[in-house]
Amino acid sequence: MFYKIALDGPSGAGKSSLAKRIAKELGIVYVDTGAMYRTVGLYVTRKGVRPDEEEKVISLLPEISLSVCFRDGEQHILLGDEDVGGLIRTPEISMAASRVSAIPAVRAFLLDTQRDLAKKNSVIMDGRDIGTVIFPDANVKIFLTASPEARARRRTLELSEKGINTPYEEVLRDIITRDKNDREREIAPAIAAPDAIVLDNSELDLEGTVAAALTIIRSRVAEA
């Protein structure tokens, strides 16, 4: 039987680093749903449409051919035939993703892609509404969080390692704005499901976070 692990939480809490490690440890597939919203953000930006121009964004959706594939356990996100993984992590596209993700039609557009991926594999899926909307029946739900300052410190470092030098203050400001957008939007707000276990890793490094998450997962999957 396949099982589903929902991993939600705000930007920069370390969901993707954690999910990659858990997927490897358990031999399951890691799905990064943020990459899908980012790809929609990239597409509309390329078309010269502002991500808050809801009607225009909606009119572009039928043109978007988005798919994911897995190579050596890594998710690749494709726009048509183009692998856009290297283009979707900039501050501009992060903000565009946050804006388009508040549009109900965009969420509906991506819903089946996300659900279908769990039909043929056990998955750990990271996002904002995986435990609340996509898989209310997930076997394990973890809400990973950390203080905005801890998240901004990590994100600044991560960006600079990719050669993108953005001042800490700007990253922190972006994180606070995106948190607010993501948490307060009417549709699928980024909040913990009532049955999620909240894991705050402000004081934990990656190893500590992996160990804590594995303990939660093993106890829940064993119960199931």
Residues engaged in binding ligand DC (CB under 6 A): 11, 33-34, 37-38, 97-98, 101, 127-129, 178, 182
Instruction: Take residue 133 and report the two structure tokens written for it.
Output: 């909307």
- Closest distance between ligand DC and the C-beta of residue 208, in Å? 21
* Closer Cβ to ligand DC, 1 or 123, answer by number: 123
* Closer Cβ to ligand DC, 27 or 84, answer by number: 84
100 in Cβ contact with 41 (< 8 Å): yes
- Closest distance between ligand DC and the C-beta of residue 42, in Å? 11
Strands, E assignment, the chain: 4-8, 29-32, 66-71, 74-79, 82-83, 123-127, 140-145, 197-200
Task: Report the candidate in 40, 125, 126, 32 with the shortest Cα–Cα distance to residue 79.
Answer: 40
47 in Cβ contact with 96 (< 8 Å): no
- Closest distance between ligand DC and the C-beta of residue 87, in Å? 13
Query: Using CB atoms, what's the residue nearest to ligand DC?
Result: 34
* Closer Cβ to ligand DC, 96 or 197, answer by number: 96
8 in Cβ contact with 141 (< 8 Å): yes
User: Cα dihedral angle (37, 43, 48, 53), rounded to 10 degrees?
Assistant: -30
- Closest distance between ligand DC and the C-beta of residue 150, in Å? 15
* Closer Cβ to ligand DC, 113 or 139, answer by number: 113
Neighbours of 21 (CB within 10 A): 18
* Closer Cβ to ligand DC, 29 or 97, answer by number: 97
* Closer Cβ to ligand DC, 44 or 215, answer by number: 44
Return contacts of 156-163, CB within 8 angstroms, 24+ apart.
159/89, 159/91, 162/89
- Closest distance between ligand DC and the C-beta of residue 28, in Å? 18
- Closest distance between ligand DC and the C-beta of residue 91, in Å? 11
Neighbours of 13 (CB within 10 A): 26
